[in-house]
Chains A and B, each alone.
Chain A
Amino acid sequence: MAWIKRHCRLLQVLIGVTWLLAASAQAEKLYVVVNAAVEVESLSHSEVLNIFMGRSQKLDRQQIALPLDISSDHPEKAEFYQALIHRDLAEVNSYWTRVMFSGDASPPRQMDTYEQIRQVIRNNLGAIAYLPESELKQLPEASYRVVHVLGE
């Protein structure tokens, strides 16, 4: 009986580990992209954080950043901020509420669809956004540059 109990426990642990691995595999990588014409090869985690939290307004020496957010209906938004600053969306909103009504900065521009984001990325030199791989594939390769990857 003891042998059976020991192996049952081992089985439970294996199932748990497998479930955790499967869950983590489901979390899609998020690609932070800019317009291909901008002279930015890559951005560090802190630079992405500073741009999306309103602390920095620059993509490079010349270009003013235009950060773009997808609407909260898309789960990638919550995943992005969790990976970026370990905060849920309510806390991110609380932060932006204070900063915005202080007049110090404006939150990233909200977009309802990824199609809108792709359009702004193509047409605006300062645009910076995060996209899951499935949405990134729909952008012509010549039009964008991946400057950071979250979830790696």
Chain B
Amino acid sequence: MCRFKNLTPWILNLPSLPKPLVVCLVCLQSLLLAVTGAARAAEQEIADDLFFSGHATLGLLYNTEKEAQFYRDASQLNADFSQFTYQADSRFGLRLSYKPHSRLGGELQLITRYGLSNEFETNLFSVSANWRAGNGWLIKAGYIPFESFYRADSVHVGYSYLWARPPTEFYTLNIASSFKGVSVRKSFLFGFDTLQLKAYGGLYGKTPSSHPDDQIDARNSPLYGLSFDYISGNWGVSAGYNRIKLDRQALLSTRDNALVPIDTGDAATDAYLVQVLNEALIKDTNFEYSYLGWNYDRANWRLEAVVSNTDTGYRSLSQANSAYFSLGYKFQRLTPYVVITYVHNDELHNLNSGGLSDELNAIIKQSANNTHGEEFNYGLGLRSELAENIALKMQYNHIDSNENPSLFWLRESENWDGNANLFSLVLDMVF
């Protein structure tokens, strides 16, 4: 078999290379590694006690709808995608782990993807120290992936799941990626069954992007969470609850970020309106996520069903309930699958804007109505294992938005009827 030497350590050690060039070089050699079969979905030793691994996704997306722009998650809110785009789904991740001792170690993860700055950006995803204290205890401290939703801590690693991309409606409101803090996990083994309980707490790391116009700026807000995973043979159940207390409330940090554009012609009035809208729209200061997931893998069948609830803490978007169901059947290297997703935002209740003028109340209500939505997403796809560490996925989605869909779409026109079709072609690699 043709072999290609892993040059990543050498590339990373090159002095003063521009960051984009380093990313391109590593991507290129990752592709070569994957294609030539030299890579594995495992850690590769690059020095004593130092290991390297990574993942890459090259994705193409075609949106048949000219009247509405599609985006994958909150990190792409400033995007300006054309109908045919590679930016929405492509990403690249690197992981370095250091294991000087059987109980002690550390890891660093970087991810490059299209973010709020409307370009590909590389962000720190995780840097932590790990201590395996014995008897099933695992303690992590540092900058840790945030498991807001079911398996959200590995949501960028395309090779790890069946679909082209995880169900959009389900993960759209996942605003956090990592946090600064501590995580404690205890595992219990009962024969083939495993129970894992996890508790974590700390400070919200950063918004999905470092761009100054972030719509939700919650840096250093305290958060905590609990999760539960039970695996028994072919099936598993997971549940989690977590909460972020927003210390910095900047939903409408600038007039351009407002849900309804604010432009009275006078900067002082605009600033005042932004301030009033912030106060009127924010109900309290907590984001709460909870989820319940179930998966079943027996013989060739792959089933997954998850429900979640998000309470965003904003009057205009009081609660979002999401669910998805996925069913696949593996025929050797091919796995056809269906995935159905649903999301619903509760109706606006108890908007208390007493004391404000009629004009301001009208703006608040218009903002609230614009974020209220309900959407079904029907997906049909095929995953093909090209190699042990490369998968090609094709997916078709029909989206049916029953009500105002602006929460899940960007810049839709008034002519849009709420229906759209998406075609995805994705190549996932791990190395």
Contact = CB atoms under 8 A, between A and B. Distances in A.
Interface of A: 44, 46, 49-50, 55-58, 64, 66, 69, 71-73, 86, 89-90, 92-104, 106-110, 126
Given A96-B42, A101-B154, A103-B144, A50 B189 contact: yes
Contact of B103 (A64, A94, A95): A64
B369 to A, nearest CB: 38
B388 interface: yes
Interface stretch (B66-74, B156-164, B285-293): B156-164
Contacts of A100: 43, 53, 95
Contact of B388 (A49, A72, A103): A72
B250 interface: no
A81 to B, nearest CB: 11
Nearest to B138: A104
B187 interface: yes
Contacts of A69: 42
Interface stretch (B125-133, B262-270, B348-356, B400-408): B125-133
Contacts of B43: 100, 106-107, 109-110
Contact of A66 (B44, B102, B161, B231): B102
Contact of A93 (B51, B145, B156, B389): B389
Which of B126, B147, B151, B157: most chain A CB closer than 10 A? Answer: B157
B191 A98 contact: no
Given A50-B194, A64-B102, A109-B43, A89 B388 contact: yes
A110 B140 contact: no
Given A56-B187, A98-B161, A101-B160, A93 B41 contact: yes
B145 A97 contact: no
Contacts of A99: 154
Contacts of B103: 64
Given A103-B126, A110-B42, A126 B102 contact: yes
A44 B190 CA distance: 12
B200 to A, nearest CB: 12
Contacts of A106: 43, 51, 97, 99
A84 to B, nearest CB: 11
Contacts of B90: none
B42 A107 contact: yes
B42 A55 contact: no
B76 interface: no
B187 A96 contact: no
Interface of B: 1, 40-45, 51, 53, 55, 93, 95, 97, 99, 102-103, 107, 109, 126, 128, 130, 132, 134, 136, 138, 140, 144-145, 147, 151, 153-154, 156-157, 159-161, 185, 187, 189, 191-192, 194, 231, 299, 333, 385, 388-389, 391, 430
B233 to A, nearest CB: 10
Contacts of B160: 94-95, 97-98, 101
15 contacts: A50-B194, A55-B194, A58-B134, A69-B42, A72-B40, A72-B388, A90-B385, A95-B160, A97-B157, A100-B43, A101-B55, A101-B109, A101-B145, A103-B107, A109-B43
A94 B102 contact: no
A93 B194 contact: no
Given A64-B102, A71-B40, A86-B299, 18 more contacts: A49-B192, A55-B189, A64-B103, A69-B42, A89-B388, A90-B388, A93-B42, A94-B160, A96-B41, A97-B41, A98-B157, A101-B93, A101-B109, A101-B154, A102-B151, A103-B128, A103-B153, A107-B42
A118 B45 CA distance: 18
For the complex of A and B, the 5 pairs showing the least CB-CB separation, nearest first, are A93-B41, A98-B160, A64-B102, A97-B160, A90-B385
Contacts of B333: 90
A55 B154 contact: no
Given A50-B189, A71-B40, A106-B97, A97 B430 contact: yes
Which of A46, A58, A95, A101: most chain B CB closer than 10 A? Answer: A101
Contacts of A103: 107, 109, 126, 128, 130, 140, 144-145, 153
Nearest to B389: A93
A88 to B, nearest CB: 8
B179 to A, nearest CB: 13
B141 to A, nearest CB: 12
A91 B121 CA distance: 30
Contacts of B388: 72, 89-90, 93
Contacts of B191: 44, 46
A66 B109 CA distance: 23
Contacts of A73: 1
